[in-house]
Amino acid sequence: MTLRTRRFQQVDVFTATPYWGNALAVVLDGTDLSDAAMQRFARWTHLSETTFVLPPTQPEADYRVRIFTPGGELPFAGHPTLGTCHAWLAAGGKPRHIRQSGEGAVVVQECKVGLVTIRASGDQLAFQAPALTRSAPTAEVLDPVVQALGLSSEQILSVQLLNNGPQFLGLLLDDPQTVLAVNPRHDVLRALNLKVGIAARYPIDEPPEHPVLISRSNREARAFSNTAAATTTGPTPDLEVRVFVAPSGVPEDPVTGSFNASLAQWLMADGLMPTRYIAAQGRVLGRAGRVYLSQDAQGQVWVGGQVVTCVDGTVRL
């Protein structure tokens, strides 16, 4: 195998403060790499996702990206979309069609799910949420997941199967404390081959100014209790989110753009959340991710966040 020096960045997504969001490895030149080489490198980085930038195949696109977890390739993912766009722009990428509006410049990304529009405005990037299909899960799908999460039926307000490229089982729970206290059986979720996201709304009159007390039996919860400063790194959220992705080779994802995209489309459509809100994710892992969700006048949901560069250099690959 002949190794070649390639431009490389490692960025932190959904945070304005380095090392508080979701890390992403970006190989800015993935040409001539085989699928096996990409997968091997993604396994080696051991991050939730690693991306490879390639020349586009569609004339409307500015670049093409392939997205790998340690366990396989994804057709689309949110934090790799924003992180790759940030790295591409920072490395000197120029949109093919310079378009300026009140929303800022526009970049078009090509990935396996199709073309994804990304808006750059100020210090934020936001991607256009892909089309969502959703349905109520059967009891055969839901019951083993509820058992693996250790939840009771009284703690579950609503459930949907969500698919916007990747598929998630989404559960809206009764309280953020319930979300933060969940100690899932990741081995069971892996065997079920199902990614699961849970969320709960914060009461308007009870913002999460202080760390929520969570189970001391949970190893990740104990780690969280030592990183309470995470609660102050970012604006006050309206929704608390966690996502379990054992089938991808990572037990829990720090911050998940694709799930937050489909979750927002569901919750906004059903009147369960307003058309503009902030989601927090990663607290149990000692992170402080913030995802900015909004719906425009045409009904399109946008998923936004900040990105910071942590490593900028080259990789032999």
Tens of pLDDT along the chain (317 residues) come to 689 999 999 999 999 999 999 999 999 999 999 999 999 999 999 998 999 999 999 999 999 999 999 999 999 999 999 999 999 999 999 987 665 555 568 999 999 999 999 998 888 999 999 999 999 999 999 999 999 999 999 999 999 999 998 999 999 999 999 999 999 999 999 999 999 999 999 997 654 544 443 333 343 443 343 344 444 567 899 999 999 999 988 899 999 999 999 999 999 999 999 999 999 999 999 999 999 999 999 999 999 999 999 999 999 99
With DSSP H G I counted as helix, E B as strand and the rest as coil, what are the percentages for the chain, rounded to 5?
25, 35, 40
- Look up the pTM and report it: 0.88
Phi then psi dihedrals of residue 12, to 5 deg = -115, 125
5-129+305-316 maps to CATH 3.30.1330.10:
no
d(CA 35, CA 288): 33
133-296 maps to CATH 3.10.310.10:
yes
Token pair recorded at residue 174: 């009764």
The segment(s) of the chain belonging to CATH 3.10.310.10 are: 5-129+305-316, 133-296
Q: Are 39 and 73 in contact (CB under 8 A)?
A: yes
Q: Are 67 and 35 in contact (CB under 8 A)?
A: no
Over its C-alpha atoms, the chain yields an Rg (Å, rounded) of: 19
Selection from 107, 79, 63, 111 nearest residue 12 by Cα:
79
